[in-house]
Amino acid sequence: MLVGMEVLLSSLMSSVVLLLAAWLGYGFAVRQDERRWTREQRAALYVDLLVEANAEREWLEDLVARRDLQSVRAERDPDERDWAAIAAEDDARWDALHTDTRMTPPERARLGAMTAAWASDEVLRRWGRLQGYGGRALLPVTAPPASLFRVEFGAMFDALQTQIRHEFDADRRGWWQRRATAAHDAYDDWAQRARGSH
**Residue 102 falls inside a structural domain:** yes
**Residue 92 falls inside a structural domain:** yes
Domain residues for 167? 44-196
Reported as a single tens digit per residue, the pLDDT across 120-142 is: 999 999 999 998 888 888 877 77
**Residue 38 falls inside a structural domain:** no
Confidence (pLDDT) at 1: 60
* pTM of the entire predicted model: 0.70
**Residue 80 falls inside a structural domain:** yes
Per the structure, how many domains does the chain have? 1
Reported as a single tens digit per residue, the pLDDT across 45-56 is: 999 999 999 999
As a whole number of angstroms, the distance between CA 129 and CA 133 comes to 6
End-to-end Cα spacing for the chain: 93
> Are 46 and 162 spatial neighbours (Cβ–Cβ below 8 Å)?
no
**Residue 1 falls inside a structural domain:** no
**Residue 21 falls inside a structural domain:** no
As a whole number of angstroms, the distance between CA 11 and CA 172 comes to 42
Confidence (pLDDT) at 137: 81
| DSSP designation for 103 | P
Buried b (16+ CB within 10 A) or exposed e, 29-52: eeeeeeeeeeeeebeebbebbbeb
Question: Which regions of the chain are under pLDDT 50?
Answer: 176, 178
**Residue 105 falls inside a structural domain:** yes
